[in-house]
Structure 1
């Protein structure tokens, strides 16, 4: 599995998860940290995210996840987003995020 795939000027990230059995808040924070790290590896950042799909093991955790998300997303750069409930790889995971982002134009500040 590739963590990052680039096609043209579009970046696709594999699903990101946090530490198994951690709280929803911690797993969300770790997903977002992973996303920041992966985008930085290819010269992009969260202001270039086009779309995010978020899977929660239980939709009752939406508010807790969303509070972390809202604090992380840069003003004026909220991507298109979907959030749904799904059975994740193991019961230990509560949050998974999949991102599609753009590579910045040459000379564009991140």
Structure 2
């Protein structure tokens, strides 16, 4: 089995491809001045870019994990998520509250897609 890694660092790869599956690391926003909806939209745009590195896309996502710094912000995250999906089939998804790297960071998302 071949494993292909994209945008690697000494600590992790942003995307790993193996056996027909594509895994992203947790994707975080860079503009921490935005609300949860804005941060989510930014994260999802980055996920689009990362999946494209492995020649796949959001229509082929089979699973997603969403971490929110405050679960009460789920509605704002879901608004950006639903707009991004555009009515396409939604993947299996977990959404949990968790402490993140920076308290201004409101969301982190990781996905698994197929080729």
* TM-score, length basis structure 2: 0.85
Q: How many residues align?
A: 103
CA distance in 2, matches of 1:92, 1:76: 30
Find the partner of 1:90 among 102, 105, 109: 102
Residues 27-75 of structure 1 deviation map (CA, whole Å, 9 limit, x = unaligned): 1001100000011111101000010000000011000110110111143
Question: Which structure has the higher relative contact order (CA within 8 Å, separation 6+)?
Answer: 1
Give the gaps of 5 or more residues in structure 2. 1-11
Output the aligned Cα RMSD: 1.0
1:18-97 equivalent positions in 2, closer than 5 A: 18=29, 19-97=31-109
Find the partner of 1:2 among 13, 25, 33: 13
Find the partner of 1:15 among 26, 50, 68: 26
The ranges of structure 1 where at least 4 consecutive aligned residues each deviate by more than 3 angstroms after the TM superposition are none
Contact between 1:52 and 1:97, CA under 8 Å: does it hold in 2?
yes
Q: Which deviates more, 70-79 or 94-103?
A: 70-79
Give the gaps of 5 or more residues in structure 1. 104-110
